Chain A
Amino acid sequence: TQLLEQSPQFLSIQEGENLTVYCNSSSVFSSLQWYRQEPGEGPVLLVTVVTGGEVKKLKRLTFQFGDARKDSSLHITAAQPGDTGLYLCAGEYNQGGKLIFGQGTELSVKP
C-alpha cells in the first residue's frame, strides 16, 4: 500500500513568517502534486513535479521533489493571511492514474 505522510498536520503562524510542509513516503512516485483546498471547496492544483530533485517556484511558494521521488516539500516565504487553507500533497504511483493523498496540513496565517 502506498502511503503519503504529511507533516505537520496543523500550523499556525504570524504573517511574514516562513514555513515548510513535508510529504514523505517509502514508495517511489512517478509524479507528485500539491493542492490547496478551502473549506467546502475542491482541491485546487498548485504544481506538479515529475523529476527527482526538481524545484519549482510559484511566487512565494517553492516546491521540491526528492532525488529518489519518495518525498517532497513546500516552502512558503513571508506567509500572508491569504495563504490560509489546507495543503495536500498527492502522488501518482506507477503512472496508474489514481492519486494517493496525504492527510493534509491545515495552515492558519494570522495578521
Chain B
Amino acid sequence: DTGVSQNPRHKITKRGQNVTFRCDPISEHNRLYWYRQTLGQGPEFLTYFQNEAQLEKSRLLSDRFSAERPKGSFSTLEIQRTEQGDSAMYLCASSPSGNTDTQYFGPGTRLTVL
C-alpha cells in the first residue's frame, strides 16, 4: 500500500500526558499537512511542511502542539499536557508540491483524552 499511513490509529490518554503521532506520506510527495477534525465538523488546518520546512501554522496550534518533519519524509505531531478539548481525529495529508490542491489523506489518529 503506497498511501498515507498514520500511527497509532487510536490513542487514549489521561489529561496532562504527552502524546506523539506519526505520519508517513506518499513517498514522492514534498508537502505534508496536519488537520484536526472534531465530531460533526469538517477538518481544520493545523500546519504544513514543504520538505522539512514548516511553512504555515494555524492559530489553533497552541504552544502545547509541535510538529516536525526532520528529514523531509515522515512527520510527527506532539501534544504536551493534553486537555480534554484536544480529543479529536488528527489527520495527515500529503501532496506533490506542484499540485497542492490534490491532497491525499491518511486514515487518521483518533485521540481520546480522559
Residues of A whose CB lies within 8 Å of any CB of B are: 4, 6, 30-31, 33, 35, 40-45, 48, 50, 88, 90, 92, 95-104
Contact = CB atoms under 8 A, between A and B. Distances in A.
A101 B100 contact: no
Contacts of B79: none
Interface string B20-51: 00000000000101010000111111001010
A90 B91 CA distance: 14
Given A48-B101, A97-B33, 20 more contacts: A31-B101, A33-B102, A35-B105, A40-B110, A42-B4, A42-B6, A42-B91, A45-B103, A96-B56, A97-B48, A98-B45, A98-B48, A98-B56, A99-B33, A99-B35, A99-B101, A99-B103, A101-B35, A101-B44, A102-B42
Nearest to A30: B101
A48 B6 CA distance: 24
Q: How large is the interface on B (under 10, 10 to 19, 20 to 34, 35 or more residues)?
A: 20 to 34
Contacts of A31: 101
